[in-house]
Structure 1
Amino acid sequence: MTPASVPGLESLGRVHFIGIGGVGMSAVARIMVARGIPVSGSDAKDLPVMADLADAGARIAVGYSAANLGDAQTVVAGSAIRADNPELAAARAAGLPVLHRSQALAATMGDDLVVTVAGTHGKSTTTSMITVLLQGAGLDPSFAIGANVPALGVNAAHGTSGVFVAEADESDGSFLNYRPKVAVVTNVEPDHLDHYGTAEAVYESFDRFTALLPSDGVLIACADDPGALALAERTLLRGNTRVVLYGTSDRSDLVLHDGGPGDVAVTSPAGQFSLELQVPGRHNALNAAAAFTVALELGVDAETAARALAHFSGASRRFELKGAARGVRVFDDYAHHPTEVRAALAAARSVAGEHKVHVLFQPHLFSRTREFAREFAEALNLADTALVLDIYPAREDPIPGVTSQLITRHLNAGGRLVGSGEAVAALAAAAGAGDIVLTVGAGDVTAFGPRIVEALDG
């Protein structure tokens, strides 16, 4: 299905979700139920969110079977669903329309004023900040976010304001299915080369994304990021929409002043305003500047916007505190690209002060490890201790010769490869009072945080 053929919500009829327990799929299902669409869904495992959806009125099944389709008229399949899944095979055999998650989400947006957040890094956090800010300003936006947000309680909801805020994922090109009026681009770097093949193809996809903006829309781009700035310049030359820049550079229309934790402010045409942020790091200060810019574009009073940002306490797996013991704080972060790892460790440094930072990193994907091994090592070398686990394969088969040793061979003296069995004890032994321990990666490394806290406590 091409982007132009995304259907209207009412035309979908009864909708069945294959893989409904995923964070992205459940978000779309939750909004559809709230907007009166009959929803059913299944997943391989009985996940907590499925009970919530059932309570909301969805028909839920655990395990895959063609019978689960019931009388569905449209099927939404998660990206992890294999072609031989019995429900997907039955849907195709019956000639039912099968939508990608992004197409289903685009259908739920309807006639709302759509705000999308795209970028190689920072999408979930920035989308969350915008949503929390708008709620704090008295608006009631609909939203769909690719991470759980403690301040919101859920990662998706149907709102009444006619504004829809959504994370727009570029990893497979599916962000081209949306029709935003306001588009934020936090940064543009080569990633997901298993899908795109070349860096040039990544840049081209973002050009196509900004080309979707209407003449009365706006691109809000980060002037501090070379890729986002270049995208903004190309968009200006194309002339299809307005462009607003934010960042610390003189080129910014909204200027960020970041003096570290407790000393963050923005200067806009309405004046200078201090931002009280609960999340550390320059990257989060930039994300906050983006959210503030969106609020101004939507007519929110600047002082109200600045106050509302103080309510944002973070998103799940984004420098998330997992616990503390023996004076050591343990955080977890989803970072899986060198730039993200560097930003997470810089944030850890700002929190640790004169104390040490210890990181446990799990590379995500063989292809990404092959492309960025040296860059990962350079980022990890910001830590005093850098322990690296084996690669988390996710959707990929092994690539001959590609292992975590491609990274560890470039680490400083404090870095080495570890097995999962020794990682917890090694970190507990290395960390002293005041230090920060950070588990990093998009795989199951997140499970190590509580175990490290327990080991420290023991």
Structure 2
Amino acid sequence: MNFKKIDFFYFIGIGGMGMSSIARYFHTMGKTVCGHDQNKTFLTKELEKEGISINYHDSIEILPKWVLSKQCLIVYTPAIPSHHKQWMYLKKYGKNVKKRSQVLAFITENEICIAIGGTHGKTTTCTLLGHILYSSGMNVTAFLGGISENYKSNLILNHVLNGRKIFLVEADEFDHSFLYLSPNIACITSFDQDHIDTYPRKETLKKAYIAFSNRIKKPYKKIFLCREESCRFKNAIYYSVLQGENYYSDHLYIKENKWYFDFHTPTETWKSLPLPIPGQHNLKNVTAALAISDYLKISKKEIRKALFLFKGIKRRYSIHYQSSNKIYIDDYAHHPTEINALISTVRECFPNKKILGIFQPHLFSRTKFFETSFAKSLEYLDILILLDIYPAREFPKNGTNSNSLLEKIKMSSKEISTLSKVLEKIEKKHFDIILTMGAGNIESLILPIKEWLYKRYG
């Protein structure tokens, strides 16, 4: 697609993390960008501050006049429900209508593209790698699945004259979106089941990743794989934690509440690097980012500097409050594997502390499929407040609700709450740490909880 012939962009679901990064990209190119979203959120407010117009009513009458012209590209997310009025109208009458993943593929097809895929860890890996590329002076454009704390955005842009442009993207397996991409370098961080509506069996997920790996092209034509995962690909470059591979990390230790590790390339060892986000699972993600950086011949000095300056990602082990006796951490964890890793990390960082966890399940299909696993992972908490399931793109399914999940959780201090009642329930609990988890709208609790903690504990 020739974007030079497109003057206008209209995004249906512009407030989504993947959609908004592309909207920002075209806005920086001087294009006219507008969009629709169901709710006003922190992210949509930021887009509006940047000059992007957003409407919040599903009405055809409020669509811009140019939306049906040949100079307009309509971009949609598969999460939009089929009965959405604007979507039905634009699908029927729009001249150029493309899925978000198709547009991302068009943007990257003629440049060097690095794609980070995997069930867990792709946002952390992609954001850190984007930061390393940017801070080392590379000509990089990175589309992120989270908000970088360094750049306060899910888009990293570094327009420099030296070197060929590199596009860095997250390869999202949902709805087979990543099969539109043709990257030069790919990384697969994990092969865990997650999007049950797209991959009801693990075998179908593995086949999709094999198809993705077959799309990797020259120059480079390289794939980085985590050795701890079960899949093997021909000519892959492996990275690992503790196991001697092409690239691996070991000697993880904590000193004065900060984490450090050693990183091994095929030719040398880099001692005592800082781990910017704590946890064994994050060490895997950091190892992946470092392996790709070294493969691209970024110097050890530049990589070490980038690690020290990395501030993290919004909603990835984000500490919002810490006093002598109370701590509040928020995290995007919405899968049993992620919850296990998060709670283990919190307990390692803050041993012998009483953890109050607030969890919002995301999607009926995911909650039903992983019900037993969710129950076991949540049992590692001391106190649980379980929220109603956040439906996102789904409709309720028979027999799937938070009550069903709560019954399976074997712990004495557990209860269900609506989002609006959480704060008054917290006020009655005895805890050392508050941990909010989930991928829905649970982040709306962050500010009220912070304000209450500061007011009560200073």
Scaled by the length of structure 2, what TM-score is found? 0.88
Shift of 1:172: 1.4
CA 1:324–1:253: 2 relative to 1, 3 Å: same
CA contact (8 A) 2:134 2:158 kept: no
CA distance in 2, matches of 1:430, 1:270: 53
Counterpart pick for 2:175 among 172, 177, 185: 172
Partner of 1:332: 330
CA distance in 2, matches of 1:106, 1:310: 32
Deviations 1:6-41 (A, max 9, x none): x34335453322232333212101112333544333
Moved more, 421-430 or 144-153: 421-430
CA 1:59–1:110: 2 relative to 1, 3 Å: farther
Counterpart pick for 1:390 among 376, 388, 391: 388
CA distance in 2, matches of 1:408, 1:53: 38
1:278 aligned partner, one-letter code: P
Pairing of 1:19-34 with structure 2 (within 5 A): 19-34=13-28
CA distance in 2, matches of 1:319, 1:207: 31
CA distance in 1, matches of 2:45, 2:334: 30
Partner of 1:441: 438
CA distance in 2, matches of 1:455, 1:55: 28
Higher relative helix content: 1
CA distance in 2, matches of 1:44, 1:373: 29
CA distance in 2, matches of 1:388, 1:58: 36
Residue 197 of structure 2 aligns to a residue whose secondary structure is helix
CA contact (8 A) 2:130 2:156 kept: no
Partner of 1:3: none
CA contact (8 A) 1:223 1:245 kept: yes
CA contact (8 A) 2:73 2:96 kept: yes
Deviations 1:79-105 (A, max 9, x none): 333334443333333351211111112
Shift of 1:50: 5.4
Partner of 1:65: 60
Counterpart pick for 2:224 among 214, 220, 226: 220
Moved more, 25-34 or 445-454: 445-454
2:436 aligned partner, one-letter code: T
CA 1:252–1:334: 2 relative to 1, 3 Å: same
Partner of 1:239: none
CA contact (8 A) 1:130 1:295 kept: yes
Pairing of 1:398-417 with structure 2 (within 5 A): 398-417=396-415
Moved more, 368-377 or 265-274: 265-274
CA contact (8 A) 1:281 1:343 kept: yes
Moved more, 125-134 or 211-220: 211-220
Counterpart pick for 2:291 among 280, 293, 310: 293
CA 1:136–1:84: 2 relative to 1, 3 Å: same
Partner of 1:39: 33
RMSD (CA atoms): 2.5
CA distance in 2, matches of 1:304, 1:245: 22
Kindly indicate whether residue 119 of structure 2 is the aligned counterpart of residue 143 of structure 1: no
Residue 319 of structure 2 aligns to a residue whose secondary structure is strand
CA contact (8 A) 1:191 1:202 kept: no
In structure 2, list runs of 5 or more residues that go unmatched: none
1:186 aligned partner, one-letter code: T
CA 1:177–1:10: 2 relative to 1, 3 Å: farther
CA 1:225–1:431: 2 relative to 1, 3 Å: farther
Moved more, 44-53 or 152-161: 44-53
CA distance in 1, matches of 2:45, 2:387: 34
Residue 448 of structure 2 aligns to a residue whose secondary structure is helix
Partner of 2:308: 310
CA contact (8 A) 2:385 2:417 kept: no
Counterpart pick for 1:367 among 342, 365, 369: 365
CA contact (8 A) 1:223 1:249 kept: no
2:210 aligned partner, one-letter code: D
CA 1:200–1:329: 2 relative to 1, 3 Å: same
CA contact (8 A) 1:288 1:309 kept: no
Shift of 1:306: 2.7
CA distance in 2, matches of 1:423, 1:54: 30
CA distance in 2, matches of 1:344, 1:69: 48
CA distance in 2, matches of 1:179, 1:415: 49
Partner of 2:262: 265
CA distance in 2, matches of 1:109, 1:348: 38
Deviations 1:253-281 (A, max 9, x none): 11111424423121112411132123111
1:411 aligned partner, one-letter code: I
Scaled by the length of structure 1, what TM-score is found? 0.88
Shift of 1:244: 0.9
What count of residue pairs does the alignment treat as equivalent?
439
Counterpart pick for 2:243 among 250, 261, 264: 250
Shift of 1:297: 1.8
CA 1:44–1:423: 2 relative to 1, 3 Å: closer
CA contact (8 A) 1:361 1:440 kept: yes
Residue 28 of structure 1 aligns to a residue whose secondary structure is helix
Higher relative strand content: 2
Partner of 1:156: 155
Kindly indicate whether residue 12 of structure 2 is the aligned counterpart of residue 18 of structure 1: yes
CA distance in 2, matches of 1:431, 1:310: 36
2:26 aligned partner, one-letter code: M
CA contact (8 A) 2:402 2:416 kept: no
Residue 330 of structure 1 aligns to a residue whose secondary structure is strand
Deviations 1:280-333 (A, max 9, x none): 111111111011011112120123213312222221111112223562111111
Partner of 1:4: none
Partner of 1:109: 108
Residue 179 of structure 1 aligns to a residue whose secondary structure is coil
CA contact (8 A) 1:246 1:253 kept: yes
CA contact (8 A) 2:193 2:199 kept: no
CA 1:411–1:57: 2 relative to 1, 3 Å: closer
CA 1:352–1:56: 2 relative to 1, 3 Å: closer
CA distance in 1, matches of 2:246, 2:394: 42
Shift of 1:168: 1.5
CA distance in 2, matches of 1:85, 1:182: 37
1:26 aligned partner, one-letter code: S
CA contact (8 A) 1:360 1:388 kept: yes
